[in-house]
Structure 1
Amino acid sequence: MRTPLYNEHVSLGARIVDFHGWDMPIEYSNIIEEHIAVRKSAGIFDVSHMGDIIISGLDAGEFIDHIFPTDITSLKSGQCIYTAFLNENASIIDDTIIYKINDKKYFFVPNAANIEIIFNWLKKNVSGYDVEIKNVSDDIACIAIQGPMYEEVLNYIGYRSVQPFTFSFEKSAYKNSITGKNNVIISGTGYTGEKGVEIICPAEEAVEIWKKSVEGLNRVNGKPCGLGSRDTLRMEKGMLLSGVDFNNDKTPYQCSISFIVSNSHDFIGKKKLEERKLTDDDIFRGFISEERSIPRSGFGIYFGDKLIGNITSGTYSPILQKSIALGYIKKDSSKQGTEIMIDIRGRKVKARVSKPRMVP
């Protein structure tokens, strides 16, 4: 599968890789250079491989409350929020951003590998609710502009900025399948931990917006960025990656995202979540090493000779100039600053526990 921007990536010299069945750019010039561009100026990403699903109808709010552990219906129209889908065992199936268009219409963005899984999960649980569920992923493209100078790029395109976790509409020549109107959605969201927006637009308009964004980037010494830097950027900020940092096995409490849980309503997995809160004894944390050897997924975390956790993601941090990792560790060893050892291919390397967000 290819996004509407595939030919643009090729023309810019991107190295293309297979990402969950999608031909996607992993890098254009250099992952570290792209990473630093986002932290210092601005970068753009093609994230059109992500899904787009709409829930609408008379019972849309009630259905949303049933599905998600977060109090979403109290949002105002034009607001969005980070949340997650839980199964009956209270484990996270996928995380997402959900947008409230109005009281009877919401849409959300599942991860690329989980589009069909989430669509089928909704269908499985829709009985008794007067709602329509539509998967419009093929009709929609998404371009993320991220970094401290993102507004200069956005203004160059001709769009206005928005506040974090809000969204607005700009005119388009094409119909947006999410809104049913000729517009693009400017969303104050992203996956880099920097200020920025995501432009959710009709697929037909993606190339025009991308080209204009590249022109704007050149004015601020920014760079087009691939999935490689997107991954290193999110790791520095402690952001979870679906299928890597959780995979139908961890609760929001284990993942250090307890803020998504509201006790104001009933939801799938609520009772089990309350039980597991008392019994699960590991928690998601960051780990910072003084050595350059990079901890990788599956590497063990030790306190002395005792195995107390495992790594789920690891990389070299261009900002800290140290190797960093994310993973799960026993709660009694999870205090920030605790010295632990990570087994890197048979060699124990010293590291310290950190909050998941390792770069402020």
Structure 2
Amino acid sequence: MKTVLYDEHVKLNAHFTDFNGWDMPLYYKSIIEEHMSVRKHAGIFDVSHMGDITVRGREAGKFLDHMFPTKVSSLNDGECIYTAFLNEKGQMIDDTIVYRMSSDSYFFVPNAGTTDKIYEWVTKNSKGFDVKIENVSSKISSIALQGPESESVISELGFSYPGYFKFTYVNGKYKNAITGKNDIIISGTGYTGEKGVEFIIPNEYAVELWRKLLSLVEKRSGLPCGLGSRDTLRMEKGMLLSGHDFNENRDPYEASISFIVNNDGDFIGKKSLEDRRKEDKQIFRGFILSDGIPRSGNSVKVNGKVVGTLTSGSISPVLNKGIALGYIDKEYSKEGTKVFVEIRGKDHEATVSRPKIVK
């Protein structure tokens, strides 16, 4: 599959990779250069492969409170929140951001590889609720603008920064399948740990907006960025990657996102989650290596004993060291604990950190 911006990436000599069936730019010139452009200036990403699902109806808030461990109905209009879908065992199916347009109108953004699965899951569990669910992913594109100079780019476009985890609408020429109006949605969200926004737009806007943003970020020494730098950026900040850092095998407490569990109502997996919490033996942590490049699947050891497993690993362009994310037995999870990571049969010294490795 290709996003609407595929030809724009070809013009920029992008190096492509298959990502859950999508032909996506891995990088244009250099993953490290793209990474640092976001940390220091600004960068833009095509994230149109992500899903878009709307929930409308009289019981939309009530239904989503049933679906999530987070009290979604407590959001105000124009606010969004990070949360996760749980199965009946209290394990995470996918993480997502839920947006409240009104008391009877919401939408959420599942990950590219789980969109169909989540649509089926939500539809299956909607029986008995007065709601209408629609998958509008094929009609929507999304461009992420991230970095410390992103707000000046937004301003030069004539828009305003909506605020962290808030979103606004700008009137446009084309009908947005999410709102049903001629809207550009500007959301104060991202996946890099830097200030920025995500533009959620009708496909018809994608090329025009991409070209405008590219011109403005390049004026600020910024770059177009691919999935490679998106991965290293999120890794430095301890952000989970669905299908890698969890895959229906971990709960929010293990994954160090217990803050999403604030729903005192009856949500899917609640009882199982409470039971799991008492039994959880591992927790999600960051790891900083003295040398070597860690990868998913590497073992974490203490005194020769395996006490954990890495789920993501790479080089941190900011630290210029190998970093990783993964799960470790709680007794060894304190920040600063010395451990070893086994890479190709050799043990490399590492230090445990909080998931947000780069502060």
The reply to whether TM is greater than 0.5 is yes
Secondary structure in 1 aligned to 2:213? Answer: helix
Q: Which residue of 1 aligns with 2:99?
A: 99
- Cα contact 2:91–2:250 (8 A) shared by 1: yes
Partner of 2:336: 337
Helix, strand or coil at the partner of 1:114:
helix
What SS does structure 1 have at the residue aligned with 2:175?
Answer: strand
Give the aligned partner of residue 208 of structure 1. Answer: 208
The amino acid across from 2:358 in the alignment is V
- TM-score under structure 2 length normalisation: 0.99
* Residue 157 of structure 1, CA deviation: 2.5
> Quick one: distance in 2 between partners of 1:357 and 1:143?
24
Contact 1:89/1:272 (8 A) holds in 2: yes
Could you give the per-residue CA deviations for residues 254-273 of structure 1, whole angstroms, max 9, x where no partner exists? Answer: 00000000142110000000
> In the alignment, is the contact (CA less than 8 A) between 2:65 and 2:263 conserved in 1?
no
Structure 1, residues 238-281: CA drift from partner, whole Å, max 9, x if none? 00000000001000000000000014211000000000000010
Distance across 1 between alignment mates of 2:153 and 2:222: 9
Q: Secondary structure at the match of 1:336?
A: coil
| Alpha-carbon distance between aligned partners in 2 of 1:26 and 1:318, rounded to the nearest angstrom | 16
1:61 maps to 61
> Equivalent residue for 1:318?
317
Unaligned segments of structure 2, at least 5 residues: none
Q: Which moves more between the two structures, 39-48 or 157-166?
A: 157-166
Range moving further from structure 2, 297-306 or 78-87: 297-306
Partner of 1:52: 52
Contact 1:152 1:216 in 2 (8 A): no
1:168 match: 168
Cα offset for 1:114? 0.3
How far 1:153 moved relative to its partner? 1.7
Whether 1:35 aligns to 2:41 is no
Query: Equivalences for 1:170-189 in 2 at 5 Å?
Result: 170-189=170-189
Give a deviation string over 1:189-214, Cα, whole Å, max 9, x none.
00000000000000011000000001
Match of 2:327 in 1: 328
Question: Size of the alignment, in residue pairs?
Answer: 359
Counterparts in 2 of 1:49-198, with a 5 A limit?
49-198=49-198
Calculate percent identity across the aligned residue pairs: 57
**Cα distance in 2, alignment partners of residues 241 and 97 from structure 1:** 14
C-alpha deviation, 1:155, in angstroms: 2.2
| Distance in 1 between residues matched to 2:273 and 2:101, nearest whole Å | 29
Post-superposition shift, 1:219? Answer: 1.4
Contact residue 45 and residue 224 of structure 2 kept, 8 A: yes
1-side partners of 2:196 and 2:91: how far apart? 30
Counterpart code for 1:120: E
Equivalence for 2:308: 309
Shift of 1:119: 0.3
- Contact 1:84/1:93 (<8 A) preserved: yes
CA distance in 2, matches of 1:155, 1:219: 14
RMSD (CA atoms): 0.7
Q: Which amino acid aligns with 2:355?
A: P
Unmatched 5+ residue regions in structure 1?
A: none
Give the whole-Å Cα distance in 1 for the aligned partners of 2:174 and 2:158: 16
- 1:157–1:209 Cα contact (<8 Å) kept: no
1:84-120 CA distance string (max 9 Å, x none)? 0000000000000000000001000000000000000
Contact 2:186 2:200 in 1 (8 A): yes
Deviation at 1:18, TM superposition (A): 1.1
Write the letter of the residue equivalent to 1:294: I
Q: Secondary structure at the match of 1:198?
A: strand
